[in-house]
Amino acid sequence: MKNTGNILSINKLSKKKMCHIKGRKTRNPLHPEVQARLKQLEKLLEKQENTCWEIGDVCIELMDKYYLSLRQIGKATNYTKARISHFHLTCRTFPKDTREGFTFQDSLAARQIYLCMSRLNMSVLEIRDRISTLKDRSTRSARAYFVKILMDREINQSIAHSAKVGIQGGNIINHCHHADWRTIIPQLPDNSVKLFIADPPFGGYQKDKNGSYNSFASSTNGMRDDCDFGTTETSLEVTLPLFKLCLPKLAKNGVLLLFQAGARPDNPSILLEAKKQGWECRYALTWLKGHIVVGDHHNPYRVCTEKILVFIKKGDRVRRHEKGTPSSDILDFRTETMNATRKMDTGKMGYGDYHQFQKPETLMDFLTKTHTYPGDLIVEPFGCSGSGVVSAIKHSRKWVYIESNQNNYAWGSGRIHTLLSQFSVQAG
């Protein structure tokens, strides 16, 4: 258990520094008084179950009176620095006159919850009082209890904010709009949108004889492949204004999710414009679509991903909402396009019953629950097949669907109205 050899490896500069401070004990762990206290601490750590408060008090004494660091205490007792810090920080948080009637474990859990859930707006003593009344007082259960409190409070705030926004939004919110998004977004109330789902054209499209733009992967199975814009320059022209027009409409801790082509570097024009307008790109998520795009056989790689850039207003934070657990930055939600193709080829689905650019509902459900609560407003500036709005309706969010392409609008708005009619029948 003992590790006296490691005790000798003391920082010489720190030791020298302490010698010049008159009237104080040495930092040297070999000092007889320090050795006695360290031996006492070792014995306490061996018992640990009923001596946690005493362990923390001895650690504080070693640090404040004898000027030992956590690292030195850890080496002398064969305990990690992190483990020692649990004891001494909890004892510092709860002085001796506040410990009676409370266990060390409850106090430790209260301190951790207080640090990681500042939005509770509760003192550490109040949190510990709540924990002491719980039937299951494990750290995991205590965290779950306070997460539920936090979620219930934020959902109520969201519903209140949603009611106000719904009145101000008039005929804009919960409606489909066949228009350029730049004419609709300015009509939304300020600070109203919790989530923008922006899936603009990435560029790389070709013009057909009728003047509209289609994907190079032209459909052979009847799936729609309409697209508004063709060249990269034209795509940027409709994408860059997002940052200026959407910023004043964004609610506190709201998010703009910007879909971009996978396997390519971030476009510097987009990042520069976002920074100029007061945005911060906090994450670059990778959506694993699960199928390989057919490409040139001479190329070594074939793209099977898309990127989702997560933008927030500078000074805000990306918070977990209804989906309370953290997730990987690689989103594995398989696209339904390949499956739909097979169904059409086998007669299980009619030709034209599926949109080639349709996002899977599982992906949109994940994004909806991660970034919003029920009642929050979700806006799709490039609505296309309307998957984001479909998810919003299913999960009781407010929504705005905007699409400028006539064919895509007919597809997306029809899909949305069909879903709304189903909900009306169920409600009736």
pLDDT at 118: 83
Residue 336 shares a structural domain with residue 419: yes
Which pairing describes strands 206-207 and 226-227: parallel, antiparallel, or unpaired?
A: unpaired
In which element (H, E) is residue 25 found?
none
* Residue 67 confidence (pLDDT): 86
In a shared domain, residues 251 and 395: yes
Same domain, 201 and 134: no
* Judgement on whether residues 191 and 147 belong to the same structural domain of the protein: no
CB atoms within 10 A of CB 293: 13
Domain boundary among 107, 135, 169: 169
User: In sequence order, what DSSP letters do the residues of 368-387 get, joined into one string?
Assistant: HHHH--TT-EEEESS-TT-H
49: pLDDT strictly greater than 90: no
Three-state SS for 337?
A: helix
Last residue within a domain, chosen from 75, 93, 111: 93
Identify the bridge partners of residue 195 per DSSP, sorted by sequence position.
255, 378
Q: Where among 146, 169, 192 does a domain terminate?
A: 169
Whether 182 and 139 map to the same domain: the answer is no
User: Are the C-beta atoms of 76 and 108 separated by less than 8 Å?
Assistant: no
CA distances from residue 135 to 111, 138, 253, 393 in whole angstroms, order as listed: 19, 9, 34, 37
Same domain, 67 and 150: no
Residues 340, 332: Cα–Cα separation, whole Å: 18
Please indicate, yes or no, whether residues 259 and 341 belong to a single structural domain of this protein: yes
Instruction: State residue 272's pLDDT score.
Output: 96
Q: What is the band of 28 on the pLDDT scale with cuts at 50, 70, 90?
A: low
- Listing from the earlier edge strand, what are the strands of the sheet with 226-227? 206-207, 213-214, 226-227
Which structural domain, as residue segments, surrounds residue 156?
A: 97-169
**Is 210 exposed, middle or buried, given 0-12, 13-18 or 19+ CB atoms closer than 10 A?**
exposed
Q: Which residue has the higher pLDDT, 375 or 26?
A: 375
CATH of the domain at 339: 3.40.50.150
Q: How many domains does the chain have?
A: 3
Looking at the fold, whether 251 and 305 belong to one and the same domain comes out as: yes
Model confidence at 226: pLDDT above 70: no
Percent of the chain at pLDDT above 70? 77
Q: Is pLDDT above 70 for 293?
A: no
- What average pLDDT score do residues 337-348 get? 73
DSSP per-residue string spanning 126-164: HHHHHHHT-SS-SHHHHHHHHHHHHHHHHHHHHHHHHHH
Residue with tokens 């949190």: 127
C-beta of residue 302 within 8 angstroms of C-beta of residue 292: yes
Structure token pair of residue 68: 């030992």
Percent of the chain with pLDDT over 90: 38
CA atoms of 206 and 200, how far apart (whole Å): 16
Q: Looking at residue 64, what is its pLDDT?
A: 87
User: Span 170-184, mean pLDDT?
Assistant: 90
Cross-strand bridge partners of residue 281: 311
CA distance 413 to 358: 13
- The CA-to-CA distance between both ends of the chain, in Å, stands at 72
What is the reported pLDDT for 249?
96
Same domain for 180 and 233? yes
Residue 422: pLDDT band (50, 70, 90) is: confident
State the pLDDT at residue 292.
58
Whether 76 and 128 share a structural domain: no
Report yes or no: 246 and 278 within 8 Å, Cβ to Cβ: no
Residues 265 and 405 in one domain: yes
Sheet holding 250-261, edge to edge: 175-178, 398-403, 377-380, 193-198, 250-261, 305-313, 279-288, 330-332
Rounded to an integer, what distance in angstroms lies between the CA atom of residue 389 and that of residue 349? 23
